[in-house]
Each structure stands twice: as C-alpha cells, then as structure tokens.
Amino acid sequence: MSDPLPAKQTPESTRLLIGDFAFEFAEIRRESERAIAQLDAEQLRRSLDGDTNSVAVIMKHVGGNLRSRFTSFLTEDGEKPWRDREAEFVDDFPAGEAGRDAALADWRDGWRVLESALASLTDADLATKTVSIRGVPHTVSRALARSLAHMAYHQGQITLVARMIVGRERWNTISIPRGGTAQRHAEMGFDPNSRPNSRP
C-alpha cells in the first residue's frame, strides 16, 4: 500500500501555531493599552514610590526590547549593538502631552516590529530555525515563548501601577471583576455545571 498523500498545505495551515502566538501577543497589547488609556499624561509618568518604574518607563523598555529582539529576527542576535537598555529606564520624555505621545511612539514602534516579524514566520520555523539572544541559541519557539512571558510580566506591572494610581472608584476593570464570573459565563453562553465533573 502506498503512503497517503500529504494534506494540502494552505497559508492558514502553515501558521496555526504562529497565529496562536500572534493572538496572545495581541491580547497582552490590548489589555495593556486599556490600562494605559486610563492614565493622563502626568499619571503615566508617576512612580509609585520614587524608585519603581512608571508606566511610561515600562512602555519605553517594552518598545526597546521588542525592537531589539525582532529586528532582523532570524538573522541577527536579539540584543542589538545599537540598543541602550539602561536608557530605557530613564524618563527623558518631554513635558505634558508631548511626553505621553513620545512614550506611546516607543511602545507602538516595538509592537510594530514584533508584528512584522510574526507575519514573516510559519510553523515550520518554530523548531527548525535557531536565533540567538546575547549569544545564547534559542529555537524560534523558545524565543517567542520567552518574549511572550516577558511581555505578560510587564502587562501585569502596567495594570497594577495604573490601577493603584487611578484608584478604585475610577478604575475600569480590564479582566473579569470580582463577583462577575457567573455573569461572564452567562454572556459567553457557558455553563460549567453542564460539563462532566473531573475532580476526584
């Protein structure tokens, strides 16, 4: 018996896993930006204790990190010689709305570079191609997982700092609010009681 013919490959079928990575990166960006949008220009640059990073500084760092990691992603080390990581943690933005615009520009530039790199990848690249970060080899899948974890870490920082600065009365919850799980399930048409109980 002859081997079965391989399934026809479509652009969608060659990017299923890459699509999942792209989706999760986009969720992190979306939820971060929902928090950022609740801060005015002064609040964006406020440190909680004078020593921790402001949201604006975190945005600057995220932008710098993503630009460095994903510019020429498959051909150059992820830590570029032109990157000044230490400067990413210095608030040198101009005053007022111009400073907010500059922080947003750093942030958006980084995400644009990431999104462009993701658009050029296929699932075959995940295990077959290797990139380096500070000279350490990574499979593409490991490099993406590393970056996804890093961005999720900073999303948590952004959300927590923004929530504390805005205050409980004015904060618009990004995730499911306390006490809102049942309502969210109902909105989704999901009934956890309709599923088999897998607990021992």
pLDDT at position 7, please?
Answer: 44
Judge whether residue 133 has pLDDT over 80.
yes
pLDDT at position 4, please?
Answer: 46
Task: Record the pTM.
Answer: 0.88
Q: Where is pLDDT greater, at 62 or 2? A: 62
Q: State phi, psi for 136 to the nearest 5 degrees.
A: -95, 125
Domains of the chain: 16-194 (1.20.120.450)
Cβ within 8 Å of residue 100, ≥6 positions away: 40, 41, 44, 56, 93
- Supply the Cα-derived Rg of the chain in whole angstroms: 21
pLDDT at position 197, please?
Answer: 62
Share of the chain above pLDDT 70, in %: 90
Q: List, for residues 14-65, the tens digit of each pLDDT value.
A: 899 999 999 999 999 999 999 999 999 999 999 999 889 999 999 999 999 9
| Tokens of residue 34, six digits | 């929902």
Q: List, for residues 84-111, the tens digit of each pLDDT value.
A: 999 999 999 999 999 999 999 999 999 9
| Tokens of residue 57, six digits | 């500084």
Q: Where is pLDDT greater, at 6 or 88? A: 88
pLDDT at position 185, please?
Answer: 86
Judge whether residue 2 has pLDDT over 60.
no
pLDDT at position 66, please?
Answer: 98
pLDDT at position 70, please?
Answer: 98
